[in-house]
Structure formats: structure tokens, C-alpha cells
Amino acid sequence: MIPELILASGSPRRKDLLEEAGYAFRVVIPEVEENEDVSESIRKLTRENAELKAAAVSDGNPDCVVVAADTLVLLGNRVLTKPIDHGEASEMLASLNGKSHQVFTAFTVMHRDTGKILNRTVTTDVHFKNLTVPEMQDYHRKINPMDKAGAYAAQEHGELIIDRIEGSMTNVIGLPMDEVAELLDREFGIVPSIK
């Protein structure tokens, strides 16, 4: 018997990625306080948050396979989380302007009944265009930067700000689908139901 798949996330982008891949699943939003201590390494921070979200949902659904993820941006040694206000969003975008950074997504796949807790981290290099201040302001008028690490979204008018991406595009969006799909199939026999 193949277990039911749950996405432990309130992110519409992660939901869209799983749907586009053809998975049958349901969404349960984890009620947790995420760790935003940017003095920790980005790998530790994203992994802890992904596991925290997965555990919160797995507790009430021990027979289901739960997928949770956490995405953050690394610019040099600085970890960028979600901006707290529009001023910080503008500052974040300006700090990324004309530079390269890395997007880290940690994801956890958890199945309480079998005791399986699997963690992976995927990184992608993103190279920004050189933008003028009016171009950056125009970009933020087109999207809502407040719920996005680094105050941008590659899938929402990303062509206006991104020169190129090296690695997984779905990782930048919030869920590295190749790695998630491989793990779900190998460990649980969960494959897309719609092709």
C-alpha cells in the first residue's frame, strides 16, 4: 500500500510545482515558528526549518509521507530571509543587483510509521542583471516581495531581473522537483499519478 502524500507548506509555488509534476497530494499548513537566526549557517537553518515543518504535520498524520521545504538566499556571507517590510525588500533587491548569489532549498521527507526522516539540500546559482533604481521599483510593483526570500521570485517576471540561472529552476522557486521525485519514488514508491 502506497502511503498518502502531504505537502507541509502554505506556499502556493510549492503546491503548483507538485501539481504540475502530476502528484496526487493534499496540503496541510504547518503551524510552527520558523527559526530566522541568520547567525546560523544557511544549510543548518534551512534544514532545521524544513524538518520542523515536516514534524509538525507528521505528528497528526503518521501514516502519510510528508514533504516540507525551506528556501533562503545567500549573498556572500549574508543570509537573506523574507523581508519584514517594503523598505527591507527594496534594500534586499538592491543588494542582489548586478551580482551572483545562491539559493538554498532544504527539503525533508518524513514518514512517522516507518521512522524515515530524509533530508536533502539543493543549491542553485542565480546571476542578476544590472538594474536601474526605476527598474527595481517597477519589478516590485509587479510582484509581492513580502513572502519571498531575497524579495524576488524567479517565476514572476524573473526575466526582468535575472540574467541567468545555473542549476535547478524549481529549486529557486522553492522545491527542487528532480530530487524530490527521485526520493519519493525510491523510498516510498510514490510517483506522479497524472502525466
Measured CA to CA, the distance from residue 182 to residue 177 in angstroms comes to: 8
Q: What are phi and psi of 121, to 5 degrees?
A: -130, 135
HEC per residue, 61-108:
CCCCEEEEEEEEEEECCEEECCCCCHHHHHHHHHHHCCCEEEEEEEEE
Measured CA to CA, the distance from residue 158 to residue 55 in angstroms comes to: 33
* Neighbouring residues of 41: CB distance < 8 A, sequence distance ≥ 6: none
Active-site residue, from 16, 70, 85, 113: 70
Torsion from C-alpha of 110, 36, 25, 61, nearest 10 degrees: 50
Q: Which three cell numbers stand for residue 82?
A: 523574507
Measured CA to CA, the distance from residue 80 to residue 94 in angstroms comes to: 12
Query: Does residue 70 carry a catalytic annotation?
Result: yes
Active-site residue set: 70
